[in-house]
Structure 1
Amino acid sequence: MSTSDSATPRDHSGPVLTAIAVSQLMVVLDSSVVNIALPAIRADLGFSPTGLSWVLNAYTLTFGGLLLLGGRAGDILGRRRMFLAGIHIFTLSSLLAGLAPNASVLVTARALQGIGGAIASPTALALIATNFAGPARARAIGVYGSVSGAGGVVGMILGGVLTQWTSWRWTMFVNVPIGVFVAILATRFIKPSGRATGQFDVAGALLSTAGVTALTYGLIRTPGHGWGDPQALAALAVGVVLLVGFVLIEARHSDPLMPLRLFTHRNRVSANLLLLLLGGTIFGTFFFVTQFLQNILRMDAFAAGFAFVPWGVGIFAFSQLVKPLSDRFGVKPVLIAGALSTAIATIWLSRITDHSGYWTAVFGPMALFGIGIGLQFALITRIALSDVPPQIAGATSGVLNVSQRLGASFGLAVLVAVFGSVVAGSGHNPADITHGYRVAFFVGIGYTVAALLLAVFGLTTAPKPAPRPAPDLAESPA
C-alpha cells in the first residue's frame, strides 16, 4: 500500500509552514539575487563575457532537469528525508559558492545548488499537500504563493544591498544561516514519512532528466546565439525526442515517475498551462524592465532593485486576500481578475518610450503585476493540487515546478529573440533600444492574454477541498 506523510499536529503547523515557506524563499531568492552581483563576480573571478552566463545557467540546468525526479523521489523515499537532503545540499553548496577561489569552482557550486533546489522545492510543495487540508491548506498555499512570487523581488533588492555594501560572496553566504534554520525546524517539527511501495522508475528518471536538461539548455542558449544556432536546435530536438520517449515509457510503467493520470484532470492541465504562461511573463518582465531602468533611466543596481518594491508589495498583500475573495466570489472569478491585471500591466509597459519616467511608465505596471501574480499564483497551485492522491503529491509538485521553469526559459528566449531582431542593425541609441523593449512587451501581451483566455475557458468548477491525510496511512518513520 502507498504511504503518505502523517498529519501535522495542530500546534506544530506554524513551524512546519515556516520551514516550508523559508525554504522556498531561499530557492526562489537564489534565482534572482545573483543577477545584480554578476558584474562584481566577473571582475573578481575573471569570467569571460560568455562564461559569465554559466553562473546562472549552471543553476538553471540542474534545477530544471531534476525537478521531476526530485518530486517523485520524495513520494518514494520519504518527503521529510528528501526535503532535508535538498536543504543540506543547497546550504553546503552555497557555502562552497561563497568561498569559490575561481570561476570553475563557482560554476560547479551553482550546479550543486540547482540539484539541492530541485529536491527541496517540489518536496516542500508536496509537504503542504500532505500535511494541511481544508482552510489550513488554502492558507498554507497562500503563504507559499506569496513567498514564491515575491522571492524574485526580494532577491533583486537583497542582491543590490549585499553587492554594494559588502561583497558578491554574501549573495551566496546568505543562504547558509537560512538553510541551517530550515533544517533545524524541519528536523524537529516535520514528521517522518514512510516509504511508498513500488519500483523506482529508473528509465523514466534518466529520460526526463536528460530531456528537460537538453530542452532547458537549448532555451537558455538561444538568447545569446539566436534560434538558428545549430547547438541550440540540436539540444531542443534531442530534448523533444527524449521527452516523447519518456511519455511512452510512463504510459507502460506500473509505477511511473510522472503518472499520466495527472493530465486527465482538466483543471490540473489548465493550472500547469497557466503557470507555464505566468513563468514566461514574470521572467520576461523582470529582464526587460531591469534593462530599461538601468540602460535608459540610468538607475544603479541598488535603485533598480528597489524599483520593483510595488511588485513585491502587491504580491504579498493580494496573496493574503486570495482566500477571503475566493470564498466570497469563487476561485474562477478571482483567477480571471488576476490574469486581467497582468494583461493590463503588460499592455501598459508596451507603451514605454525613451522619454518615459519611472512613476509614469513603470510604477503602475509593477503594482498591477504584483496584484495579478498575488491573486493567481496561490490559486493556480491550489487548483493543481486539488484531489491529488497523497502518494503522488510529489510527482504533481514536480510537474508544476517544471511547467513554471520551462515557461520562464521559453518565454524569455522568445522575447529576447524578438528584441534582438528589432535592434539588429540599429544605431543602439536610447530610442532604438526602447523601441526593442516596447516590441518585446507587445509580444508578451500574447502570454498574458492567453492566460486570461485559459482562465475564462480552460477552468471548470472550483477545486474541491482535499481530505486531511489520515494518520494511519503512514508507516513507521523512515
Structure 2
Amino acid sequence: MRRSPWATLTVLALAQFIVVLDVTIVNVALPRIQTDLDFTADGLQWVISAYTLVFGGFLLLGGRAADLLGSRRVFLTGLALFGVTLLVAGLAGTPGALIAARAVQGLGGALMSPAALSILTVTFAHGRQRNIAMGVWGGLAGLGGTLGVVAGGLLVDSLSWRWVFFVNVPVVVALIAATPLIIRAVARRSGHGFDLLGSVLSTAGLLALVYGVVRAEPVGWGSAEVVGCLAAGVVLLAAFVAVEARSAAPLVPLRLFRSRALSSSSGALALNGASFLAMFFLTAIYLQQVRGASALRTGMEILPMGAAAILVAVVTPPLVHRFGTRTVQLCGAALSALSLLLLAGTGADSGYASHLLPGLILFGAGVIAVGVPAQIAAVVDVEHHEAGAASGVVTAFYQVGGALGLALATTLSVSRSHAALADGMAQQQALVEGFHRGLLVAAAFAVVNVVVTLASPRIAPSAEQIAEAAATA
C-alpha cells in the first residue's frame, strides 16, 4: 500500500503539537490544581519540573531507542505512554499521583519526539521538501505552545483543570489508530546498545539537585537534607560524565563539547529555558492569585507573548544570515533581561496595557531571538553526521536548564513571600513581593546569558546551513 508522505507529516506534526500544547496548557491550570489537590506553594512547580526533567533526561535515549528498535515502534510506544499518563494525570487525587503521572508522561514525550523527527527525516528527501516539512512541524509546535494558554483557560473555566489533560486523550487514541495505516516501518539501524545507565544517572542527579533547591525554602540551605541532596546530585552527575567518557555508545558524546559553538549554545539554551519556565510559571500564578483573573483571561493576557514569539521565529533566520548568530542572540538575551525587569516592576493594580503587555511582548521576542541562533550555531560547527546528536544535546540542556531555573526562581519567590507575611505584610502584597523576586532571578539568568553569548564564536551561516540546521532542530 502506498503511503502519502504528507499524511505522515500530518500525524507526526499533530503528535508534536500535543506534546508542546501540554506544557503551556498546564501552566494556566496551576492555581486550580494547587487549590484542589492541596499543593504547597513550593511543591507546585513539580507539576512542571517532573515533566521537563524526565523529558530532558531521557530525550537522547529516546533517539537511540528509535535507531535500534525502529522509529515507528518507539513512536507508538511513546504515544501510548503519553496518552495513558494524560488520563492518569486527569484522574489524580493527590499531589504525588499527579507528579508521578507527569514524570512518566515526560518519558513518553522523550520517546515520541525524537522518533517522530527520525521518521520525518527519512520520509522527506533532503532539500526543499524536507525544509517545507520541517517548517510545518515547527510551525505547529509553536502554534501548540501559543494556543495552549487560551485552551487551558477555556477548559479550566468551563469544565475543570482535569480537562487540560483529558482533552488530548482522544487525539492520542486517533493518532495511535492512524499510525500503522499511514506511517511505514523504518528500518532499524545497526550499532551499539542503550546507555540506560547514563540516562538514569543524569536524571537522578538532576532530580537530586532540584529537590535540594526546592527543600531549601522550608528547611534552610544549610540543613543536612538540602546539603545531602545537592551533594548527591553533584556526585551522580560526575558519575554520569565518567560513564559517558567510557561508554561505547554514550548518551552524550563528550567530544561534541570540543566545539566552542556547541558548548556556548548549550549554556545559552539552558539559561533561556530557565528564564522562560520561571517567567511563565510565576506570571500564570500572579495573574490569577494576585490580580484575580480567571484562567481564560490569564490565557488571553499571555497570548500576545506567543504571538510575538511566532512572528520573531519567522524573521530571525534571515537576520541570522545577515548579521550572524552572535549578534542576533545577544539582542535576544538583552531583550529578555529588559522585559523581565519591566515585568518585575508590575504591582497588584498596574495597568495591563501599560505594564504587563510590553514586557510580555518583548519577552516572547527575546526568548526566540536567543533560541533560534543558538540552535543554528550548535549544529553548524559540528560534523554533518553528528548534527542530530548535537541538536538533541542542546534540546536536553534547554529542558533541564528550565527545570533547574524554575526550581531556583520558585524557591526564592516563595521564601520572599513567606518572609513578607511574617513581617505583617498583607497577603496580596506579599505575593507581589515574591513575584518580583522570582522575576529578578529570571532576569539574572538572562543577564548571564548576555555574558555567555559574548563569549560565543562569531558564526555567519549560509542560507543552506540555516536550512540544514532547521531540519535537525
- TM-score, length-scaled by structure 1: 0.82
Residue matched to 1:428: 425
Indicate conservation of the 8 Å contact 2:334/2:366, yes or no: yes
Distance in 2, Cα, partners of 1:43 & 1:454: 39
Distance in 2, Cα, partners of 1:399 & 1:378: 15
Select 2:110's aligned residue among 118, 126, 129.
118
Distance in 1, Cα, partners of 2:345 & 2:269: 25
Distance in 1, Cα, partners of 2:216 & 2:207: 14
Select 1:199's aligned residue among 193, 196, 215.
193
Residue matched to 1:160: 153
Distance in 1, Cα, partners of 2:406 & 2:125: 34
Task: Tell me the amino acid that sits aligned with residue 98 of structure 1.
Answer: G
1:71 aligns with 2:71: no
Residue matched to 1:295: 289
Residue matched to 1:457: 455
Q: How many Å apart are 1:307 and its aligned residue? A: 0.8
**Once structures 1 and 2 are overlaid, which stretch shifts more, 334-343 or 59-68?**
59-68
Q: How many Å apart are 1:24 and its aligned residue? A: 2.9
Select 2:272's aligned residue among 278, 282, 295.
278
Distance in 2, Cα, partners of 1:108 & 1:443: 28
Task: Tell me the amino acid that sits aligned with residue 101 of structure 2.
Answer: A
Select 1:441's aligned residue among 439, 442, 452.
439
Task: Tell me the amino acid that sits aligned with residue 372 of structure 2.
Answer: A
1:347 aligns with 2:341: yes
Q: How many Å apart are 1:281 and its aligned residue? A: 0.8
Residue matched to 1:218: 212
Q: How many Å apart are 1:368 and its aligned residue? A: 0.8
Indicate conservation of the 8 Å contact 1:218/1:235, yes or no: yes
**% same residue:** 37
Residue matched to 2:305: 311
1:416 aligns with 2:410: yes
Q: How many Å apart are 1:421 and its aligned residue? A: 4.5
Task: Tell me the amino acid that sits aligned with residue 384 of structure 1.
Answer: A
Residue matched to 1:474: none
1:257 aligns with 2:254: no
Indicate conservation of the 8 Å contact 2:58/2:107, yes or no: yes
**Once structures 1 and 2 are overlaid, which stretch shifts more, 345-354 or 95-104?**
95-104
The higher relative CO (CA closer than 8 Å, separation ≥ 6) is in: 1
- C-alpha spacing 1:293/1:364, structure 2 compared with 1 (3 Å): same
Instruction: After superposition, give the CA deviation of every residue in 1:309-346 in whole Å (9 maximum; x if it has no partner).
Output: 11010111221222333334444333333223222212
- C-alpha spacing 1:436/1:67, structure 2 compared with 1 (3 Å): same
1:173 aligns with 2:166: yes
- C-alpha spacing 1:442/1:215, structure 2 compared with 1 (3 Å): closer
- C-alpha spacing 1:178/1:387, structure 2 compared with 1 (3 Å): farther
Distance in 2, Cα, partners of 1:138 & 1:220: 42
Indicate conservation of the 8 Å contact 1:146/1:319, yes or no: no
- C-alpha spacing 1:378/1:190, structure 2 compared with 1 (3 Å): farther
Residue matched to 2:374: 380
Instruction: After superposition, give the CA deviation of every residue in 1:43-102 in whole Å (9 maximum; x if it has no partner).
Output: 66x556487666555434533442342233234334343233212211222234335577
Task: Tell me the amino acid that sits aligned with residue 438 of structure 2.
Answer: A
Distance in 2, Cα, partners of 1:10 & 1:337: 44
Residue matched to 1:246: 240
Q: How many Å apart are 1:181 and its aligned residue? A: 4.9
Q: How many Å apart are 1:451 and its aligned residue? A: 1.9
- C-alpha spacing 1:151/1:53, structure 2 compared with 1 (3 Å): same
Distance in 1, Cα, partners of 2:108 & 2:258: 30
**Once structures 1 and 2 are overlaid, which stretch shifts more, 132-141 or 197-206?**
132-141
**Once structures 1 and 2 are overlaid, which stretch shifts more, 327-336 or 386-395?**
386-395
- C-alpha spacing 1:417/1:299, structure 2 compared with 1 (3 Å): same
**Once structures 1 and 2 are overlaid, which stretch shifts more, 362-371 or 142-151?**
142-151
Instruction: After superposition, give the CA deviation of every residue in 1:235-293 in whole Å (9 maximum; x if it has no partner).
Output: 32212111111211221222222111121111111111111111111112112322332
- C-alpha spacing 1:200/1:309, structure 2 compared with 1 (3 Å): closer
Q: How many aligned positions are there?
A: 459
Cα-Cα RMSD: 3.6
Residue matched to 1:87: 79
Which sections of structure 1, spanning at least 5 residues, go unmatched? Answer: 1-8, 470-478
- C-alpha spacing 1:143/1:262, structure 2 compared with 1 (3 Å): farther
Q: How many Å apart are 1:163 and its aligned residue? A: 1.6
Distance in 2, Cα, partners of 1:393 & 1:223: 41
- TM-score, length-scaled by structure 2: 0.82
